[in-house]
């Protein structure tokens, strides 16, 4: 891991008061093994963690770029109420949004899909690492706010979920 990546991780931690810690583990040959993000105020326990595995083959649509450097895999950055009582699942990082594990495969989540906390809803690729994004809320997806293979920004709405659906 080079100093630019470490610097970017520190910058994300400073700019995101809801984050408490970023932990990066390296595997063999200096490849990233996992990246963990915990929320601030989680105490000694880690709150809502997603582990992004690196180093091995990953589902990777052909012809895509790696996206901008980002922090780490995390669950959707807090569901917040949107208009009409819907909750939003937001992107926890900058990267490329993928709705399915590989081209032609069925989407993890689409309009009408019932999701539960901890259920994977998409992948965001950042720095050639596929980060599995999990829902923090239960409900029915009413809107997918981004297109497959579209670049996304930190905090951008990915899904709108009806918690009463």
Rounded to whole angstroms, how far apart are CA atoms 98 and 31? 23
pLDDT band at 17 (very low <50, low <70, confident <90, very high): confident
C-alpha 55/C-alpha 30 separation (Å) is 9
> Of 32-46, 68-82, 102-116, 133-147, where does mean pLDDT reach its minimum?
68-82
What per-residue confidence (pLDDT) applies to 112? 95
Hey, what are 152's tokens?
């996304």
pLDDT, residue 59, reads 36
Query: Tokens at residue 62, please?
Result: 């052909």
What local confidence, expressed as pLDDT, does residue 27 receive?
56
pLDDT at 141 over 50: yes
At 19 the pLDDT is 72
pLDDT (0 to 100) of residue 48: 37
Q: What's the mean pLDDT in 59-76?
A: 37
Confidence (pTM):
0.53
Domains of the chain in start order, with CATH, are 3-162 (2.40.50.100)
Q: Which residues pair with 38 in a beta bridge?
A: 21
pLDDT per position as a tens digit, 76-130:
345 545 556 899 999 999 999 999 999 899 999 999 999 999 999 999 999 888 9
Cα–Cα nearest to 90, from 156, 144, 151, 39: 156
Cβ neighbors of 81 (< 8 A, separation 6 or more) are 87, 88
Question: Mean pLDDT throughout 144-163?
Answer: 94
pLDDT at 56 over 90: no
């Amino acid at each position: 891991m080079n100093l630019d990546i470490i610097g970017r991780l520190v910058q994300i931690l400073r700019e995101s008061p809801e984050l408490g810690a970023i932990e990066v583990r390296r595997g063999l040959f200096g490849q990233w093994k996992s990246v963990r993000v915990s929320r601030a105020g989680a105490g000694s326990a880690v709150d809502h963690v997603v582990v992004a595995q690196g180093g091995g083959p990953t589902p990777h649509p052909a012809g895509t770029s790696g996206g901008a450097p980002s922090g780490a895999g995390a669950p959707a950055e807090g569901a917040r109420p949107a208009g009409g009582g819907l909750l939003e699942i937001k992107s926890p990082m900058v990267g490329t949004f993928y709705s399915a594990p590989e081209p032609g495969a069925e989407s993890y989540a689409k309009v009408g899909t019932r999701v539960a906390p901890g259920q994977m809803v998409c992948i965001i690729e950042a720095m050639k690492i596929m980060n599995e994004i999990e829902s923090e809320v239960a409900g029915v997806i009413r809107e997918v706010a981004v297109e497959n293979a579209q670049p996304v920004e930190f905090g951008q709405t990915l899904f709108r979920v009806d918690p009463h659906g």
